Amino acid sequence: MDQLIDPFNRKITYLRVSVTDHCNYRCHYCRGEDHLTNTARDDLLSYEELARIVRLFSELGITKVRLTGGEPLLRKDILKLAIMLGEIPGIDDIPLSTNAHLLSPMAEQLQKAGINRVNISIDSLSQDRFKQITRGGDLDKVIQGIDAAIESGMHPIKLNMVVMRGVNDDEIEAMINFAIERKIDIRFIETMPIGTAGIDAVDHHYSEADILKRIHTHLPNRLVTTKSKQTSGPAKSYLISDTNTSVGTISAVSNNFCSSCNRVRLTAKGRLILCLGQKNSISLRDLLRLGKSDKEIKNMIVDAINRKPEKHEFDTDIDNIDGAQMVEIGG
């Protein structure tokens, strides 16, 4: 089998696939207040186009495909796509990232369709604060979705909390306790300076060092370092002794993790994003719709990977993605 190796000898095994750039939440670190999504249906990759692209990536060594958005559960017949991807040889891991608002009635079907695990965004356990952060979200529905995922047998289930100074940083300990009670995992994420929402992210930045200090104080002598799989994301993880819960951090700004980057992103409109913090990309949708052969498209993918940058520039003054919105990139 061919393998995707970038110029810095990083093996690319993980493809994040955004199935829609629409979202029923409007989290202020993800999109600007005035941002509207007007993507027409024809602009989106069809499921057949998505499956073809994923098949080509699998032939190039990709084994993990995460479904993201926007909010992926807004895409009609998402179960159909999950089944299609599960039938592709070489793809053995199909996790989902969701805000869980629509997850409760779908969790069991998703699990049966091959969605083996799920990451759920939840930034507060306070109804009013949650509604403020998400600009109208419903915390009760999210918790129902979390519990439905647990009941369905998805594993592992990971909660993702974006920590914002002066907004929700006082809830780190409560979120750990919430995860321990449900025997699921929790990760704390630094805000990232992307797009028009990036200004707000900088203003409310809460560093990994501060997060870890709070975790260690809350769980003294209870953290055991765990080893990540090759296809894992950038989180540093620790098992909490005497529990079934791990706690981790993702620190794009204060602790550059680019040296181990193993992933690329496919947007809902079919652009292959080589780095979350860089503008460089190519349109695979256009190649498909121009009638290019599998071989030609694979050659273009390989050529793109050969131009994957060494790192993002979040820790400098370089602004490479000023016009982007996280909701459009796929996170």
CATH number for 20: 3.20.20.70
Q: What is the model's pTM?
A: 0.91
Range of the domain at 210: 4-329
**Which pLDDT belongs to residue 330?**
65
Span 234-288, pLDDT tens digits: 778 999 999 999 999 998 776 666 888 999 999 999 999 998 777 789 999 999 9
Span 13-40, pLDDT tens digits: 999 999 999 999 999 888 877 767 778 8
Q: Are strands 157-163 and 236-240 parallel, antiparallel or unpaired?
A: unpaired
pLDDT at 51 over 80: yes
95-120 average pLDDT score: 98
Side by side, the strands of the sheet bearing 64-68 are 223-225, 236-240, 246-250, 185-190, 157-163, 118-121, 96-98, 64-68, 14-18, 263-266, 271-273, 281-283
- Residue burial 86-105, b: 16+ Cβ < 10 Å; e: rest: eebeebebbbbbbbbbbbbe
Instruction: Report the alpha-carbon distance of residue 156 to residue 185 in Å, rounded.
Output: 7
pLDDT at 122 over 90: yes
The answer to which of 189-198, 257-266, 298-307, 310-319 has the lowest mean pLDDT is 310-319
Q: How many domains would you assign to the chain?
A: 1
Instruction: Report the alpha-carbon distance of residue 146 to residue 24 in Å, rounded.
Output: 17
